[in-house]
């Protein structure tokens, strides 16, 4: 079986407008593959459009249920972990507290990375929406990016800035 990311082909600008809340939030979670596979493994031998639509709908429902179970308490858990880490920092340091703090930090890093991926994708969706609806915004943003990427000059071997 070949595993490739389809978002570059599937998630076009038009697709992002139709599904503005779509994110890659689940792709890093191993269990998400099983949630999708469980819906599609039920093969009735048919391949009608109706069956495909039913499976897509069932996949959506399954992923939403799984997502609620997996991610709904993330903000609360981040607060708890920060408090736990602060509390462990105040305790006398021994191998147990150091180990507990390391575990809490690892889990906190994982949760914060999930949140960062979510907000990065969300900002991209908003940028695509605003860019498509507002040409002036799109051109202004593209100009800002071009200006930021512009080279002012190069340094030679002696460290002198050369502008030619």
Cα dihedral sign, 134-136-138-144: negative
The reply to whether 127 falls in a domain is: no
The reply to whether 44 falls in a domain is: yes
The reply to whether 22 falls in a domain is: no
The reply to whether 46 falls in a domain is: yes
pLDDT at 5: 54
Range of the domain at 51: 30-72
| Residue carrying structure tokens 């009735």 | 44
Q: What is the pLDDT along the chain (164 residues), one digit of tens a residue?
A: 445 555 555 666 776 677 766 666 656 666 766 777 777 776 666 667 777 788 888 888 888 888 777 777 788 888 889 998 888 888 788 888 889 889 999 999 988 888 888 777 777 766 666 655 667 777 777 888 888 777 777 777 887 877 76
Written in H, E and C, the secondary structure of the chain is CCCCCCHHHHCCHHHHHHCCCCCCCCCCCHHHHHHHHHHHCCCCCCCCHHHHHHHHHHHHHHHHHHHHHHHCCHHHHHHHHHHHHHHHHHCCCCHHHHHHHHHHHHHHHHHHHHHHHHHHHHHHHHHHHHHHHCHHHHHHHHHHHHHHCCCCCEECCCCCEECC
pLDDT at 1: 46
pLDDT at 93: 82
The reply to whether 61 falls in a domain is: yes
The reply to whether 48 falls in a domain is: yes
pLDDT at 103: 92
The reply to whether 91 falls in a domain is: no
The reply to whether 125 falls in a domain is: no
Total number of domains constituting the chain: 1
């Amino acid at each position: 079986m070949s595993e490739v990311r389809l978002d570059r082909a599937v998630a076009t600008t038009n697709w992002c407008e139709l599904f503005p809340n779509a994110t890659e939030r689940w792709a890093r979670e191993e269990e998400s593959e099983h949630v999708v596979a469980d819906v599609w493994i039920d093969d009735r031998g048919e391949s009608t459009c109706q069956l495909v639509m039913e499976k897509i709908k069932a996949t959506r429902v399954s992923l939403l249920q799984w997502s609620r179970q997996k991610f709904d308490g993330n903000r609360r858990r981040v607060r708890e972990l920060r408090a736990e880490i602060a509390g462990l920092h105040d305790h006398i340091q021994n191998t147990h507290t150091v180990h507990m703090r390391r575990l809490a930090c690892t889990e906190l890093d994982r949760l914060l990375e999930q949140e960062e991926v979510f907000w990065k994708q969300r900002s991209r969706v908003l940028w695509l929406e605003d860019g498509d609806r507002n040409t002036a915004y799109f051109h202004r943003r593209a100009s800002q990016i071009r200006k930021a990427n512009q080279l002012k000059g190069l340094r030679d071997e002696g460290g002198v800035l050369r502008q030619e």
